[in-house]
Structure 1
Amino acid sequence: MNTQHFKNISNFFVAGINYKKSDAAVRGKFAINNEQYANVLEDAAAQGLDEIFILSTCNRTEIYGFAHCSHQLVELLCSQTAGDAETFKQSAYIKNGIEAVEHAFSVGAGLDSQILGDYEIVGQLKTAVKFAKEQGFVGAFTERLINCVLQSSKLIKNSTSLSGGTVSVSFAAVQYIMNRVIDPSSKNILLLGVGKIGRNTCKNLVDYLGTKNITLINRSVDKAATLAGELNLRHASLDSLEEEVAKADIILVATNSAEPVILKEQVEGKGEKLIIDLSVPANVEEAAQHLSNVQVINVDALSKIKDETLKMRLAEVPKAKGIISELMAEFEDWCEMRKHVPMLKELKVKLKELYAHPQYVQTITSAKTIDVHIQRVLNDTAGKIKVQNQKGCQYLAALNEFINAKN
């Protein structure tokens, strides 16, 4: 099984499901934790497979590797999941050879992400491959492939705007403040609600506005206190809401309360206020939204910002695909040269044997070491094979060149 012939690109597969054809409930049945991951690799080894990795995120579960057929990988994966192989196949995509390679490049670039250009996938991919490598399941092919994928992803990140702009409602809120508020770090900011969206919004405020002038209020004061402690911010109790609202210049609401938490009487006549309501239903009273001193931005307005970002990102897709094409071509060249590795290894052994023979040892220039000379011959031979694809003739030519080397 562990042969050069078997480790040919034609035996490389990816089988997976993602958000395009399966909902979160279905994807959840095929999510893989580290214990399940280790079990899959153990089972793979028992079947003679030794180059496999699994990428499992909230939006996808994919298994990559060399196998006799894709079904072998699907069975391995599903042997450890709550879902069965038949259910998996109903929503699965199966890719083979260069298509599987191209899929890996698209995933790594964020082109296949639910949020186009989502760069978070890079860290998830690195973690997935690192786990497989620690278990001894990353060979030369996978190592080279992932390095090329990461190189491509980095080039796309640095030379296009595919990952630019807003990537979530919480970040869109912070970007709105950055673009429309003069010197936002000098403003008093109040954040209501520290659930998932609230926490993300809070961290974005600290990271992108460079301010600690933020007060947190949550129904559970302990949660607000914990987050405030982590980020060195101030927190207050829900009982002091009216007082804190009056002092705030910018208010972000992420409470998801069934009833409005920001009322007209709390903000009327209390100075200019920007209120960003991230809640559905709205948590800012309708009457408060019509006050002359209050500007309210809701999730629909922020979604328009996301739409503009999406258009910008879509325009960058051709550039990203161009970069991928270049890196894929390099990877394909490397795969092609791998076919000649056995011959080049044999040539290296033969050259060393010739050098050791008394008849030829004097033909090597004294100023050169034998390793340097042999490597030059091997490099030249590999280059000629790449151009002419005549490995048998190049083998003989390399021996002749070595034998006839002059002082």
Structure 2
Amino acid sequence: MQGSQSKDIAHYHIVGINYKKTDAAIRGSFAINQAQYGQLLEQAKTAYLDDVFVLSTCNRTEIYGFAEDPQQLVEMVCRQTEGDCNLFSQLSYVKSGEEAIKHLYQVGTGLDSQILGDYEIIGQIRNATRFAKTNGCLGGFQERLVNSVLQVSKLIKNETALSAGTVSVAFAAVRMLEYKVPDILNKKILLVGVGKIGRNTIKNMMDYLGVADVTLVNRTLSVAEDFAKEHGLRYAPYENLKEELNRADIILVASNAPEPNILKQHFEGSGPKLIIDLSIPFNVAPEVVELPHISLVNVDELSKIQDETLQMRQQEVPKALSIIEEHMNEFLYWYKMRKHAVVLKAVKDKLQEIHTKEIQQQKNGAQYKLEDMEAVSSRIIQKMINLMAGKVRRETDKSDQYISMINDIFEAGVKQD
């Protein structure tokens, strides 16, 4: 997108909230769905903000981009969500420049995740930036940075044990079920919402727990039908939701609806149920927990599940940070060289201008002769020397610095006192 904000790295910001200072209910009030994301990007273009993208997951809502003031980014999030803007300002963090860049690397590699080493976050970053690019809000700086983060995430996954085992919210749900429901093979399982998190959770349950009695319900029936046929599962239309909720023993909710779609009245008179709400904002109404025969678990509670691989993964953090530092330095070098490229192009254009004028002057309407080349070249060289000498004379307080730089650039080899 074409914007007016400075591409000075000091104006690159990230503003957000995450699990460290907010619970899942607060994060849900600032979650941004696809429709809100599209509207936010339109606002960004109207405000001439560059390289903007939003990362909204169960653990965080963050907005990245160039702006003169990070408050501009805060206001865009608040305009699109139902949460209180003053609360967001109190709970949010703001990082700028290199600190913001480092934060994106740490988020993308699972170092900043509620579950250390979470491998799903990098896919969420890829999808978020792809959507921003499709909507004309991702420029060269952000695209290059994200590509570097994607590369680093892959390196850390392959070269360290930070993501050893399967670590994600989806897998945490599986671990909880393993501990809490020893007879799970005899339970009827319902998945409401066949998006990526829901699919990953069910696949993990099938692989690690051996479950097979699974029913899928999704607003778009064909999505549930395709996944069910691929994995030999049962599916039902969304209109049968109440019936399927009553039939199930364990209910996984990952529908990402803007409002709760699993309600208290669905379970009045039903048998005992274990419900796991993987959605942000919550898709299970808070009143459901009032029912004595219903157990409800959300994403924050899942992150507390005992994980015997955690200590081993923590030992891999220094290796991961070292890989991040190396590639972040490479990115910053590219950024600095890109700024120099503008100057070098201007120098090239200036030289071309002098060259063209001298050629035209030498020709002066006559046929150009080979012996004229030496005269033209000599004048071009002298004019460049005059330009540099004139600058040195005018900037007397910097003259030594300029001369030293010219000496280095042209490798003149002159020793200076």
* CA drift at 1:344: 1.1
Residues 219 and 34 of structure 1: is their aligned pair in 2 closer, same or farther, counting only changes over 3 Å? closer
Q: Is the 8 A contact 1:52 1:63 kept in 2?
A: yes
- TM (norm. structure 1) is 0.62
Residues 61 and 190 of structure 1: is their aligned pair in 2 closer, same or farther, counting only changes over 3 Å? same
Whether 2:53 is the aligned partner of 1:53: answer yes
Count how many residue pairs are aligned between Structure 1 and Structure 2: 303
Q: Give the SS at the match of 1:308.
A: coil
Cα separation, 1, equivalents of 2:146 and 2:28: 26
Aligned to 2:398: none
Q: Give the SS at the match of 2:15.
A: strand
Whether 2:160 is the aligned partner of 1:165: answer no
Task: Letter of the 1:203 partner, please give it.
Answer: K
Aligned residue among 187, 190, 210 for 1:192: 187
Residues 195 and 355 of structure 1: is their aligned pair in 2 closer, same or farther, counting only changes over 3 Å? farther
Whether 2:204 is the aligned partner of 1:216: answer no
* CA drift at 1:17: 0.4
* CA drift at 1:396: 9.5
Cα separation, 2, equivalents of 1:217 and 1:337: 55
Aligned to 1:346: 346
Residues 25 and 344 of structure 1: is their aligned pair in 2 closer, same or farther, counting only changes over 3 Å? same
* CA drift at 1:22: 0.9
Cα separation, 1, equivalents of 2:66 and 2:96: 10
Q: Give the SS at the match of 2:315.
A: helix
Q: Is the 8 A contact 2:215 2:233 kept in 1?
A: no
Residues 118 and 67 of structure 1: is their aligned pair in 2 closer, same or farther, counting only changes over 3 Å? same
Task: Letter of the 1:325 partner, please give it.
Answer: E
Q: How does 1:254-273 map to 2 (within 5 A)?
A: 254=250
Aligned to 1:21: 21
Task: Letter of the 2:320 partner, please give it.
Answer: A
Cα separation, 2, equivalents of 1:347 and 1:394: 15
Task: Letter of the 2:99 partner, please give it.
Answer: E
* CA drift at 1:205: 5.6
Task: Letter of the 2:213 partner, please give it.
Answer: L
Whether 2:151 is the aligned partner of 1:156: answer no
Q: Is the 8 A contact 2:117 2:162 kept in 1?
A: yes
What is the Cα-based RMSD across aligned positions, in Å?
A: 4.3
Residues 33 and 64 of structure 1: is their aligned pair in 2 closer, same or farther, counting only changes over 3 Å? same
Q: Give the SS at the match of 2:61.
A: strand
Q: Is the 8 A contact 1:51 1:66 kept in 2?
A: yes
Task: Letter of the 2:37 partner, please give it.
Answer: Y
Aligned to 2:122: 122
Cα separation, 1, equivalents of 2:37 and 2:214: 40
* CA drift at 1:230: 4.0
Aligned to 2:63: 63
Task: Letter of the 2:130 partner, please give it.
Answer: K
* CA drift at 1:196: 4.0
Task: Letter of the 1:216 partner, please give it.
Answer: D
Aligned to 1:44: 44
Instruction: Give per-residue Cα distances to partners, 1:81-121, cap 9 Å, x unaligned.
Output: 11132111121011111111111111000111111111111
Q: How does 1:360-399 map to 2 (within 5 A)?
A: none
Point out where structure 1 has 5 or more consecutive residues left out of the alignment. 177-188, 236-252, 262-279, 284-301, 364-389, 402-407
Cα separation, 1, equivalents of 2:151 and 2:322: 14
Aligned to 2:389: none
Aligned to 2:308: 308
- TM (norm. structure 2) is 0.61
* CA drift at 1:232: 2.5
Instruction: Give per-residue Cα distances to partners, 1:189-244, cap 9 Å, x unaligned.
Output: 945222349975652365579x9xx6427799xx9x96754412699xxxxxxxxx
* CA drift at 1:327: 0.9
Q: Give the SS at the match of 2:321.
A: helix
Q: Give the SS at the match of 2:157.
A: helix
Residues 43 and 170 of structure 1: is their aligned pair in 2 closer, same or farther, counting only changes over 3 Å? closer
Residues 39 and 392 of structure 1: is their aligned pair in 2 closer, same or farther, counting only changes over 3 Å? farther
Q: Is the 8 A contact 1:351 1:399 kept in 2?
A: no
Q: Is the 8 A contact 1:174 1:208 kept in 2?
A: no
Residues 326 and 281 of structure 1: is their aligned pair in 2 closer, same or farther, counting only changes over 3 Å? farther
* CA drift at 1:47: 2.2
Q: Give the SS at the match of 1:340.
A: helix
Q: Give the SS at the match of 1:43.
A: helix
* CA drift at 1:391: 8.7
* CA drift at 1:303: 10
* CA drift at 1:9: 0.8
Residues 308 and 362 of structure 1: is their aligned pair in 2 closer, same or farther, counting only changes over 3 Å? farther
Residues 117 and 68 of structure 1: is their aligned pair in 2 closer, same or farther, counting only changes over 3 Å? same
Cα separation, 1, equivalents of 2:199 and 2:93: 35
Q: Give the SS at the match of 1:62.
A: strand
Aligned to 2:239: none
Cα separation, 1, equivalents of 2:85 and 2:303: 38
